[in-house]
Amino acid sequence: MVQKVDKLKVYAPGRICLFGEHQDYLGLPVIPCAISLYIEVQGVRRDDLTVNIDLPDIDDKESFLIENNIHYVKERDYFRSAVNILLRNNFTFSTGFDCILRGKIPISAGVASSSALTVAWINFLTLMSDQSIELTPKDSAKFSHMAEVLEFREPGGMMDQYSSSIGRVIFIDFRPKISIEPIHADLKPFVLGDSGEWKDTKRILTEVKNRVIDITKSITQKHPEFSLHEATVKNIYKYTSELTKEELQLINGTIRNHEITIEAKDILKKKWLNHKKIGQLINEHQSILRDVLNITTPKIDRMIDAALEADAFGAKITGAGGGGCMFAYCPNNQSEVLNAIEKAGGKGYIVNVENGVRFEILET
């Protein structure tokens, strides 16, 4: 518990998925990395139960009353769902707030802007609640996932909420239960490239997830011993007779992505980091996302090619795909890679590995 807070600012970072894209919703491990682009919520306490939120970046405003079972007025109504989730979990509010929300994270672009928003908002609310609680990173991720994903029955996993809450580079495993392992790798800056192409995250996640789950169910009906977690590229071919060529390719790609994630974890944990090997694994991961999962676009492919031609060690799409952002790992030449990405039509950002959600109590 912290002192009663009347004015507060909370920052939550976005993230890139280094390894394990389209894996967390299958219960397979992932390696996300929080980056130095943020959502920022600043607010002051009111004398009533009204919540006013100014959103100057998108020229919008939100306003509602804190009450039990707040009615949702739009899809993915995270401001209201966060309050509902906290009320159900024994948080109380004697006042509302006047808030302003700003951010530098590209919106709906595969770098977890919605999760950063939810994490920042959840932490703002718990600190401004009657209980004045500073959440642990685990509870921050849990409540944010409830408000963003479970409340609206979304198909996504928990990678984004954990990454924004904890920060830095982490390895998230989901079996037998969720476990988080910090990875203290000396990663150098990345260049993030925003294609500006709108993507339908919910549709893409659902389609890819359902395809892999259907194939897995088909295999396990005849081979109960089969497990995505134990399967390898070498042994998957024993199931060739039961799969179409397309199904085999998809399940093989999923398993290889899992293997790449485990290989990358081992490399990232070494005292002397092999930056070029990290780049090679990023490139192999990208080839599967492009050629097997089919989640890239021609523009993003051009941006990735341009980054590699400018001597980035590795580059891949980040997020669900179908648009949004890519990133390049380029320890020595970020400016040149950024220029190459922008010449290919993207908007570039040089970003660093960053800490998780944090707050600042302000004087009224």
Look at residue 223 in the predicted model and tell me its pLDDT.
87
Q: How far apart are CA 202 and CA 149, in angstroms?
A: 11
Q: What distance in Å separates the CA atoms of residue 159 and residue 138, rounded to the nearest whole number?
A: 12
Q: Is 70 exceeded by the pLDDT of residue 236?
A: yes
Q: Same domain, yes or no, for 55 and 159?
A: yes
Supply the pTM of this predicted model.
Answer: 0.93
Does pLDDT of 3 surpass 90?
Answer: no
Residues 97 and 62 in one domain: yes
Q: Give the rounded percent of residues in the chain with a pLDDT score beyond 70.
A: 99
**CA Rg value for the chain:** 21
Domain of 124, CATH number, reads 3.30.230.10
pLDDT at 30: 97
10 Å CB burial of residue 261 (0-12, 13-18, 19+) is buried
**Residue 211 included in any domain:** yes
Tell me the average pLDDT across 132-152: 97
Residue 52 in any domain: the answer is yes
In this predicted structure, the answer to whether residue 189 has a pLDDT above a threshold of 70 is yes
In a domain, residue 309? The reply is yes
Residue 134 pLDDT > 80: yes
In the chain, the amino acid numbered 175 is R
DSSP at 32: E
Assess whether 15 and 136 both reside in one domain. yes
What is the CB neighbour count within 10 angstroms for residue 127? Answer: 22
Question: In which domain, by residue range, is 248 found?
Answer: 190-351
Instruction: Let me know whether 249 and 158 are in one domain.
Output: no
Domain count for the chain: 2
- Provide the pLDDT for residue 306: 98
Asked, for residue 262, whether it belongs to a domain, the answer is: yes
Q: Is the confidence at residue 241, as pLDDT, over 80?
A: no
Q: What is the pLDDT of residue 116?
A: 98
User: Which two tokens mark 264?
Assistant: 């990358």
Q: Is pLDDT above 90 for 25?
A: no
Average pLDDT over the chain, rounded to an integer: 94
Helix or strand or coil: residue 242? helix
- State percent of the chain over pLDDT 90: 78
The pLDDT assigned to 140 comes to 98
For position 345, which CATH number holds? 3.30.70.890
> By the 8 A CB rule, do 199 and 320 touch?
yes
Q: Which residue has the higher pLDDT, 43 or 216?
A: 43
Same domain, 95 and 148: yes
DSSP string, 182-201: EE------EEEEE------H
Alpha-helical regions (H) of the chain: 78-88, 113-128, 137-145, 159-166, 201-222, 245-268, 275-291, 298-309, 334-343
Q: Please indicate, yes or no, if residue 1 is contained in any of the structural domains.
A: no
Please write the tens of the pLDDT for every residue from 73-121.
999 999 999 999 999 999 999 999 999 999 999 998 999 999 999 999 9
Checking phi first, is residue 10 left (phi over 0); if not, alpha (psi -120 to 50) or beta? beta
Q: Which residue has the higher pLDDT, 277 or 208?
A: 277
Q: Specify if 2 maps to a domain.
A: no
3-state secondary structure of 348: strand
Of 213 and 41, more confident = 41
Question: Does 18 lie in the same domain as 111?
Answer: yes
Q: Is the pLDDT of residue 1 over 70?
A: no
Same domain (yes/no): 162, 224: no
Residue 13 has pLDDT above 70, yes or no: yes
Q: Specify whether 197 is located in the same domain as 345.
A: yes
Instruction: Count the Cβ atoms, other than its own, within 10 Å of residue 302.
Output: 17
35 and 122 co-located in one domain: yes
18 and 71 both lie in a single domain: yes
Contact between 170 and 162 under an 8 Å Cβ cutoff? The reply is yes
Same domain, 16 and 154: yes
Higher pLDDT, 184 or 155: 184
Could you tell me if 22 and 132 lie in one domain?
yes
- Going by C-alpha positions, the residue among 64, 42, 70 that lies closest to residue 51 is 64
